[in-house]
Structures are given as structure tokens and as C-alpha cells.
Amino acid sequence: MKAFLPTLIGEAALPFLIDVKMLPQPLMVYAWPASASQVKLEQGLLILKVQTLPSMPRTEIRQQARKALKEALAMLLDYPVTEIEFESQPGQAIQLLHPKLNIGLSISHDHGMSLVAINMNGKIGVDLMTLNSSPAINEIHTLATDYLGDKTAEYIAQLPSALQQEAFAKEWTALEARIKCNGEALAEWNIVKINLANINSRALEMPKGYVATVAFSTSPTSSL
């Protein structure tokens, strides 16, 4: 099971507090490299999915995701791939080494897939979860109460049992994505909720069995 750690979602994003008809459609996710010729930015965002094998070592999965990220950035910026370089520190988001570009990057992995996210206009966070890694039904209410807040926990609890794991996964990935986007340290709901409440987020269009969310900020694009 995926480790469940304290994170947060802004209450305004809860499904029962907004008109479903007003929700944006899930953001397109492009298979890489198969869909390289079809990709296009939406809201300055580009999300790629990279298939992995269960037998792959973690280091190889990371390398594969970074390769996709480097190739996509080279295409978007019209740079040689050899000029795309990253900086990465333990516990911190991967960063593009280019002082004039305000491009946010994020990567998430779960069984059989990596997601690579690019925001051409600022910070970004992406989180991926397989429904198989969602907690058991008898654990969901406690986890949701502790880490997602009472209102989210109540919303999930009133759903039929068959829908609770997917609902939890949607809320959990949304707050994990916000945490990553804002560079917050993991903490309980009552500590971090104010800092993350206003970060934009969108669900991602995923294959059956996967749930994912991207969170992002917008700021003026730096000159190339």
C-alpha cells in the first residue's frame, strides 16, 4: 500500500460544495513518446504518462521519467535535448536549470506508470494513485478525518461503499498535488490548510484503475 502521510485539500474543491456542471473537464494526459506529435499545452500545462514494468528498479523508473521530461521540454522550448539539464535535491521537486525560465516540473510514480507534469508559467505538483493502493474501506474514514478534514471525511462516508475508495483517491491525490506544488512540508490538516486553499487543481484523464490530479500556480512567464 502507498504510504499515507499528512497533506491537505482546500475545502472549496470538495465535490459537494460546488456545482458539478461548473467543474472543468479532466485534463488530457498524453502517452509518451507515442503521442509526441500530438501534444499541446492547456493553461500552460502539459501532462505525460510513461508506462513502466513492475519489475523495473526504482532508479530505472526515475531515469525513464526524466528522459521523457527532457525530451518534452526540448520540444516545447525548441532546444537541443543536450541543453536541458535538471537539479534535484532529496525531498524537493526537480527543477530546470535555466535562470530565465519560470517553468515548474513534477513527477509521480505508481504501479505501472509515471506521470510527468510541466507548467510553463509557474509551480506545479502532480500525484498519481492506483485504486489498488487506496486504503481499505475500514481505514478511509479515519485517514480522511485526520488528513483531509471533517467535511471531506463526511462526504466520503455518505457514499456507497463501492465508491468510497475512488472518492478517497481523488481527494488524496488532489491534496498531495497541492502539497508538492506549494513546496510545503507534510503536516496535519489544521496546520497547512490555509497555505494550500487557493492553489488551482484539475483532475487528470486516466485509464481505469488510476486516479491523478495536477495542482498549479500561474505567474508571468519569464523571457526565454
pLDDT at position 196, please? 75
pLDDT at position 195, please? 73
CA-CA-CA-CA torsion sign (21, 23, 26, 28): positive
Report the alpha-carbon distance of residue 165 to residue 75 in Å, rounded: 38
pLDDT at position 190, please? 67
CA-CA-CA-CA torsion sign (214, 220, 222, 224): positive
pLDDT at position 23, please? 54
Numbers of helices and strands, H then E, in the chain: 5, 9
pLDDT at position 92, please? 80
Query: In what helix (H) or strand (E) does residue 154 lie, and over which residues does it extend?
Result: helix 150-157
Q: Does CATH number 3.90.470.20 belong to domain 26-215? A: yes
pLDDT tens track for 24-53: 789 999 999 999 999 999 999 999 999 999
Max Cα-Cα span within the chain: 52
Residue ranges in the chain modelled with pLDDT below 50: 1-22, 221-224
β-partners of residue 214 are 126, 202
pLDDT at position 40, please? 95
pLDDT at position 217, please? 86
Contact 65, 114 (CB under 8 A): yes
Contacts of 14 (CB under 8 A, 6+ apart): 151, 152, 155, 171
What does pTM read for this prediction?
0.85
